[in-house]
A and B are shown apart, each in its own frame.
Chain A
Amino acid sequence: MSPLAIGALIGIATLCVLGTGIPIAFGLGIVAVAFLMIFEGLNSLNFLAETLFSGLNDFTLVSIPMFVIMGAAVASSRAGSDLYEVLARWLNRVPGSLVISNIGACALFAALTGSSPATCAAIGKMGIPEMRRRGYSADLATGAIAAGGTLGILIPPSVTMILYGIAAEVSIGKLFLAGVLPGLLLTALFMAWALFISWKRGEKLIDADRIYSLAEKFELLPRVLPFLIVIAGVVYALYGGIATPSEAAGVGAMLCLLMVVVIYRVWRPMQLWAILNDGMRESGMLLMIIATSILFGYMMSSLYVTQSVAEWIAALDVNRWVLMGLINVLLLVAGCFLPPAAIILVTTPILVPIISSVGFDPLWFGVILTINMELGLITPPVGLNLFVINGVAPDVRLPTILRGALPFMGCMILAIVLISMFPGIATWLPNALI
């Protein structure tokens, strides 16, 4: 059987196995083991445990649990609400200030965590009820947070980019920097849409029910500033060449844990344990998916599928932008069903040689890929952010959240087009600084 036919079979088998509702980590493992056994014999399984272990035996991966703990610490405290409250007080004379504050708080919170659902939950808990109380419609309130939350994986630090960096052998520091301007662009696009739709629907644009005094505006700053200083510290350690991403993330995690204890008085052992327990559950789930995705990648490569698919696509000889369009569609469809970690580890070894051979920059592609993954987070059936929002605001039905999130998806597609037209948005900053 030709490697391409085997590739098609693998695709169908993966869909069928994951369709049973089996945990993705084990589903990918089963497909990998089954195909290795059928095409390479039982002996190919001699290295099963070793492949899983050595897939995780990489110091760069250490940054993932560290950033997850950092996010879990911040998310467990009132930091998200405070961040939002500070912005709301400072911006309350600006039209559409509440939605803008929420999206802004999401962007800032994203800089503290590498995870989208964590961003959604932390800002949404306070932001959604407040927006609805002040008369914003449910779809706009929930849609803005679902979309704002996706900034978590574009604005550094980002778990998605760490994995892409490992799989594509691109500098993670450079990737993080490449996400900054697109992250800000997307934040601006989200805010612009929120403003436009509020104006069009005739929703109250000025939320100045009351005017905040300077004292009130400064009151919360001391609680939020330390977190902003940690962000600055982690960024400085990373780009100043003082620490690798894993080391910077480790120190960031420790500092965030300490700040949650000192500033938010989360000092009871049970409370601290809950933070670590949450962090362990999320990072354990992610690392298990990573381990079996690497096994899956090993199977594809040893059956020569990865190489054959890459050669086949290269031989199609289509215009490189048509090719990029097709890759985007493929990633979008995959994003609707699979979490970013699995998609990146399975597709990057196939896609990066192709995009490099037609002259695209793998650094730039990392950003495009991440925005695609963001889209997947707010599209059913596996849109993780949609379910988080559903948990935060249980009375808002899923279709309503989806209706609210749809225009923000349009903003993301627009961002992909803009970054494709002007690749400098992604590549200028890392090339200028590193």
Chain B
Amino acid sequence: MKSFAELIRQASRISGMASVLLILVAVVVVCQMIFVRKVLGQSSIWQTEFVTFALIAATFLGAPYILLTRGHVAVDLVPMLLGHRARVVLALVASVAALGFCLLVLWNSLFWWHEAFAGGHVTSSMWRARLWIPYLAVPVGMGLLSLQYVCDIWALVTGRDLPFGMKPEERL
């Protein structure tokens, strides 16, 4: 399990890198779009959709890395008021619930993605982008996020991680 957890952590980091690259490409494409429209006087065809899709993909692909680095904001008032043992229980409840949500989205997104893939769905714009490509970010991101949650729960149960990243003596 230890090496599996390390493998998932590594996958989350790589997914995070892909997310950073997508954001960087989006910044460049926005500038290119303005150049094409304002300087060259041509109309932009694919840029608006591309940038929007890139950032949606960045959001889903970045989510596992953000979880790994504790970047998802949470209300930690109740955990701060509790003792260490109660905190572990609460962290478990929260993680299992979040895992449930991620699995549900993953399950649903697989059908949704397959429908777009098999049906050859495209966007209604002139670019006619194949929708299964941006849609793919949802099952991939949610799948990895679920695996990252499994690792987090394992680390919590085996005492490798502290609940909510708080030290036992940390109290409000």
> Is the pair B16, A24 in contact by a Cβ cutoff of 8 Å?
no
A114 at the interface (CB under 8 A from B): no
Q: Does A310 contact B (CB under 8 A)?
A: no
**Contact between chains at B138 and A49 (CB < 8 Å):** yes
- Determine the distance from Cα of A22 to Cα of B80 in the docked complex, in whole angstroms: 13
Interface of chain A, main secondary structure:
helix
Q: A56 contacts which of B59, B80, B98 (Cβ < 8 Å)?
A: B59
- How close is A76's CB to chain B, nearest CB, in angstroms? 14
A41 within 8 A of partner (CB): no
Bound-complex Cα distance A48 to B101 (A): 10
Residue in A50, A283, A285, A339 whose CB lies within 8 Å of B23: A283
What residue in chain A is nearest B139 (Cβ atoms)? A49
Judge if A279 is at the interface, Cβ distance under 8 Å.
Answer: yes
Taking a contact as CB atoms under 8 Å apart, the answer to whether B19 and A280 are in contact is yes
Q: Is the CB of A30 within 8 A of B34?
A: no
Are B108 and A251 neighbours in the complex by a CB distance under 8 Å?
no
B76 interface residue per 8 A CB criterion = yes
Q: Which residues of A contact B90 (CB under 8 A)?
A: 20-21
* B7 on interface, CB distance cutoff 8 Å: no
Known A33-B104, A62-B51, A247-B30; judge A284-B71 contact (CB<8 A). Answer: yes
A21 touches B79 (CB 8 A): yes
Q: A27 vs B74: C-alpha distance in the bound complex, in angstroms?
A: 9
Which of A53, A249, A287 has most chain B Cβ within 10 Å?
A: A53
Q: Does A61 count as interface, using CB distance less than 8 angstroms?
A: yes
In the complex, the chain B residue whose C-beta lies closest to that of A18 is B75
For chain B residues 24-72, which have a beta carbon within 8 Å of chain A? Answer: 24, 26-28, 30-31, 33-34, 38, 48, 51-53, 55-56, 58-59, 62-63, 65-67, 69, 71-72
> Given A65-B23, A251-B34, A338-B75, A48 and B104 touching (CB < 8 A)?
yes
Identify which of B58, B66, B79, B97 contacts A65 (C-beta below 8 A).
B58
What 1/0 flags go to A62-93 for Cβ under 8 Å of B?
A: 10011001000000000000000000000000
A243 touches B34 (CB 8 A): yes
Interface residue? B73 (CB, 8 A): yes
Residue of A nearest to B87 (CB): A21
Q: Is the CB of A49 within 8 A of B109?
A: yes
User: Chain A residues with Cβ under 8 A from B139's Cβ?
Assistant: 49
Cβ-defined contact, A61 with B55, below 8 A: yes
The answer to whether A20 and B51 have CB atoms under 8 Å apart is no
Question: Is B66 within 8 A of A281, CB to CB?
Answer: yes
Bound CA–CA A280/B65 (angstroms): 10
A246 at the interface (CB under 8 A from B): yes
Interface residue tally for chain A (C-beta within 8 Å): 60
Q: For the complex, is A321 an interface residue (Cβ under 8 Å from B)?
A: no
Inter-chain contact A65/B104, CB cutoff 8 Å: no
Q: In the complex, are the beta carbons of B104 and A277 less than 8 A apart?
A: no
Q: Say whether, besides A59-B52, A277-B20, A20 and B94 are in contact (CB < 8 Å).
A: yes
Which interface residue of B55, B80, B95, B104 has the most chain A CB atoms within 10 A?
B55
A residues near B69, Cβ cutoff 8 Å: 281
Contact A250:B77 (CB < 8 A) given known A33-B104, A49-B138, A53-B56: no
Whether, in the assembled complex, A29 has its beta carbon less than 8 Å from a beta carbon of chain B, the answer is yes
Q: Does B94 lie within 8 Å of A276, measured CB to CB?
A: no
Q: Is A26 an interface residue (CB 8 A)?
A: yes
Does any Cβ of B come within 8 Å of A58's Cβ?
yes
Identity of the chain B residue whose Cβ is nearest the Cβ of A242 in the assembled complex? B38
**Most chain A beta-carbon contacts within 10 A, residue among B30, B51, B71, B134:** B30
The residue that B20 contacts in the complex, of A17, A251, A273, A384, with Cβ under 8 A, is A273
Asked whether any CB of chain B lies closer than 8 Å to the CB of A189, the reply is: no
Of the candidates A291, A338, A381, the one whose C-beta lies within 8 Å of that of B59 is A291
Whether a CB of chain B sits under 8 angstroms from the CB of A288 is yes
Known: A30-B101, A49-B138, A277-B16. A62 touches B30 (CB 8 A): yes
Could you say which of A27, A29, A58, A254 contacts B27, with CB atoms under 8 Å apart?
Answer: A254
Q: At the interface, yes or no: A120 with Cβ under 8 Å from chain B?
A: no
Complex contact B26–A62 (CB within 8 A): yes
The one of B30, B38, B102 that contacts A66, using a Cβ cutoff of 8 Å: B30
A-B contact pairs, 5 of them (CB 8 A): A18-B74, A49-B139, A59-B52, A62-B52, A243-B34
Q: List chain A positions with a Cβ less than 8 A from chain B.
A: 17-27, 29-30, 33, 45-46, 48-50, 52-53, 56-59, 61-62, 65-66, 69, 242-243, 246-247, 249-251, 253-254, 257, 273, 276-277, 279-285, 287-289, 291, 337-339, 381-382, 384
Q: Which residues of B contact A (CB under 8 A)?
A: 16, 19-20, 23-24, 26-28, 30-31, 33-34, 38, 48, 51-53, 55-56, 58-59, 62-63, 65-67, 69, 71-80, 90-91, 93-95, 97-98, 100-102, 104-105, 108-109, 112-113, 134-135, 138-139, 164, 172
Nearest 6 CB-CB pairings of A with B: A250-B30, A23-B72, A49-B109, A284-B62, A381-B77, A22-B94
If A25-B72, A30-B100 are given as contacts, then 19 extra A-B residue pairs at C-beta distance below 8 Å, sorted by A number, are: A19-B75, A23-B73, A23-B98, A27-B97, A29-B105, A30-B98, A33-B104, A49-B135, A56-B59, A59-B51, A65-B26, A65-B55, A242-B38, A257-B27, A284-B62, A287-B59, A337-B77, A381-B75, A381-B76
